[in-house]
Amino acid sequence: MKKAYIILGFLLALASTSCNDFLDVHPKGEKVEDDIFKDSQGFEDAIYGVYGHMADNKLYGMDLVWGITEILSQNLSSDNPELVALSKYDYKTNESLRQRFTKIWTAAYTNIGYTNNVLKNLNKKSPEDLPLYDVYKGEMLAARAMLHFDLLRIFASTDRSKQGIPYVKTFDFSVKPFSSVGECIDFVISDLTEAEKLLENMETMAYPRDDTQYLRFNRWRETHLNLYAVQALLARVYWYTGDNANAAIYAQKVINSQKFPLVDVTEIQTYLAGVLSPKETIFGLYSTTYLDFTTEYLYTWQSYKSYAPFDNESGSNYMLPWTAIYSMDITPTMQDFRKTHFRQQAKSPAKCLKLVDYLTIENNNSPARPELISGISLIHSSEMYLIAADALLEDNYDLAFKYFNDEITSRGLTPLSNNETLTSERIYNEFRKELFCEGQQWFNMKRLKRDIISNAENRIIPASEDIYVIPIPEEEFEYRPETDQKK
């Protein structure tokens, strides 16, 4: 991993130099790049570098999971002025917040550049040169698609005809044009579909996990964009765009693989707490720094810095505190084991420790579960059950009913009886509970154009694109021709 980060730093240096400087160093840089990509080891180190950068706090190490989107969805709060502005959807007046958006945008496109550099160099090779050629290419296409898709969900409308983002497929310094939302979605699906074809005959992931029999790169496949992660991403993309038929197909591909069984109630409290679940995690990122970020922002209380779920314990009267979310659709006798993700002390802010490895923190930072992979679980199987349930609700109610009951019973809830009716609203409520603190609720609200129950302002805010579309950083338009300016 250390070697991978050195390579990553070199690529970043190339990406950040001016055009003139780049021309000056290019002959030397080209030789170094040839050395890096001369064999399988070099490609694998570069790919590990891509995953390492994805775990950065400006991307999936914080902001694209709970750092930004959980504030937007009104699940978490913070006294930090930039996050107070974010919670009120004031995207333009707080300079610190605007710079934070710029850092997300820049970090994502920088990493897209890394993926494209790997793909460019793969095009100089063949499967005869690299035994895992299809795996390398499939994973990098999937990484490129995932990063673009999440940028699109943040910075663009859901209207296919409107301006989207630049979809970058090459590693060079030319300014890439904006594509429409619909074109971007088509590019994402194209990249993921190609990745699926490349990976389907090469995937080694099994359940129970058995990494001892594989060569290094084929171990710990849950830390790679493996075949099932690609299929799960396709389920997300199709569901987000309203294509329920394909969303159901791909969610069921993951479920029917039987490689990601739902955890039982005895595992709920800690199955994602700073680790990748050996059962449910379809894709996550190995990270040695994630513990520090979650300790600093989610575990240790610091005014003007920490994140906390909205709650009324200290005398507040929020419209939808976390306790109200978990009280939806249940009777007083039901027990939802996900409530153990929260730590509540009288007259003190609540903590959501769902993604925090507090076992290690409270063990004097000595790894409490060294047998598990430390890091960030980004896609896990319960989401696939809920996507399948929602996508099948109208066309195959019985199967939707089954998937929903499978998911809620694994969380400790009583299954729906045949006398009860499963509705899209009930699935929506369950999705919010299940994905709390994982960054997906905001995109579900946006997908459905839901009015916002604002805890920050104690009012209902009508859905609008002014709220659901975060402005693209102004820096992106500074050097563009007039024909390619912000619309």
For residues 374 and 408, what is the distance between their CA atoms, to the nearest angstrom? Answer: 26
**pLDDT score, position 2:** 34
Strands 163-166 and 342-343, how do they pair?
unpaired
Question: What does R_g of the chain's alpha carbons equal in angstroms?
Answer: 22
Is the confidence at residue 487, as pLDDT, over 90? no
The residue with tokens 């009913």 is 401
- Give pTM, 2 decimals: 0.92
Residues in a beta bridge with 163: 180
For residues 229 and 196, what is the distance between their CA atoms, to the nearest angstrom? Answer: 9
**pLDDT score, position 214:** 67
Q: In terms of pLDDT, which residue wins out, 174 or 437?
A: 437
Average pLDDT over residues 153-165: 98
Average pLDDT over residues 407-432: 97
Q: Which stretch of 5-19, 269-283, 302-316 has the lowest confidence by average pLDDT?
A: 5-19
For residues 6 and 4, what is the distance between their CA atoms, to the nearest angstrom? Answer: 5
For residues 277 and 487, what is the distance between their CA atoms, to the nearest angstrom? Answer: 43
**pLDDT score, position 346:** 72
**pLDDT score, position 313:** 83
Q: Which stretch of 205-214, 419-428, 447-456 has the lowest confidence by average pLDDT?
A: 205-214
| pLDDT tier at 174, thresholds 50, 70, 90 | confident
**100-113 pLDDT tens trace:** 999 999 999 999 99
**104-152 pLDDT tens trace:** 999 999 999 999 999 999 999 999 999 999 999 999 999 999 999 999 9
Strands 459-461 and 375-380, how do they pair?
unpaired
**pLDDT score, position 323:** 96
* Pair of tokens at residue 474: 């102004």
**207-246 pLDDT tens trace:** 999 887 667 899 999 999 999 999 999 999 999 999 999 9
**464-478 pLDDT tens trace:** 999 999 999 999 988
Q: What is the dihedral of CA 472, 72, 350, 314, to 10 degrees?
A: 120
Answer whether 134's CB lies under 8 Å from 199's CB. Answer: yes
Angle between helices 381-392 and 397-410 in degrees, nearest 10:
150
First to last CA, the chain: 42
415 phi-psi bin (left φ>0, alpha ψ -120 to 50, beta other) = beta
| pLDDT tier at 352, thresholds 50, 70, 90 | very high
Strands 76-77 and 178-180, how do they pair?
unpaired
**1-39 pLDDT tens trace:** 333 333 444 444 444 333 333 223 333 334 456 678 999
| pLDDT tier at 344, thresholds 50, 70, 90 | confident
- 3-state secondary structure string, the chain? CHHHHHHHHHHHHHHHCCHHHHHHHHHHHHHHHHHHCCCHHHHHHHHHHHHHHHCCCCCCCCHHHHHCHHHHCCCEECCCHHHHHHHCCCCCCCHHHHHHHHHHHHHHHHHHHHHHHHHHHHCCCCCCCCCCHHHHHHHHHHHHHHHHHHHHHHHCCCCCCCEEEECCCCCCCCCCCEEEHHHHHHHHHHHHHHHHHHHCCCCCCCCCCCCCCCCHHHCCHHHCCCHHHHHHHHHHHHHHCCCHHHHHHHHHHHHHCCCCCCCCCCCCCCCCCCECCCCCEEEEEECCCHHHHHHHHHHCCCCCCCCEECCCCCCCCCCCCHHHHCCCCCCCCCCCHHHHHEECCCCCCCEECCCCCHHHHCCCCCCCCCCCCEEEEEEEHHHHHHHHHHHHCCCCHHHHHHHHHHHHHHCCCCCCCCCCCCCHHHHHHHHHHHCCCCCCHHHHHHHHCCCEEECCCCEEECCCHHHHCCCCCHHHHCCCCHHHCCC
Answer whether 303's CB lies under 8 Å from 252's CB. Answer: no
